[in-house]
């Protein structure tokens, strides 16, 4: 029972980790963001799921 729970939760964690990592890679490459970069680093890391999504939607300077 508990083993399956962990097996089912691991992919979820991995996906969120990938999301955070690509958001950070993109943040490193990009010249300018809406708002200071350090703020986005904090948002991406500390707001699970919403943070990276917000960064991709409004953080990247369009």
Tell me, residue by residue from 14 to 53, as one string, x for binding to another protein by CB under 8 A and - for no binding.
-xx-xx--xx--x----------------------x--xx
24, 41, 43, 56: which one binds another protein (CB under 8 A): 56
Beta bridge partners of 60: 33
Beta bridge partners of 33: 60
How far is 24 from 55, CA to CA, in rounded Å?
Answer: 9
Q: Which residues bind another protein (CB under 8 A)?
A: 4-5, 8-9, 11-12, 15-16, 18-19, 22-23, 26, 49, 52-53, 56-57, 60, 62
């Amino acid at each position: 029972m508990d083993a399956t729970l962990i097996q089912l939760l691991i992919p979820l964690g991995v996906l969120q980790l990938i999301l955070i990592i690509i958001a950070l890679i993109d943040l490193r490459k990009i010249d300018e963001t809406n708002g200071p970069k350090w703020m986005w680093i904090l948002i991406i890391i500390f707001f699970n799921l919403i943070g990276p999504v917000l960064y991709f939607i409004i953080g990247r300077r369009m």
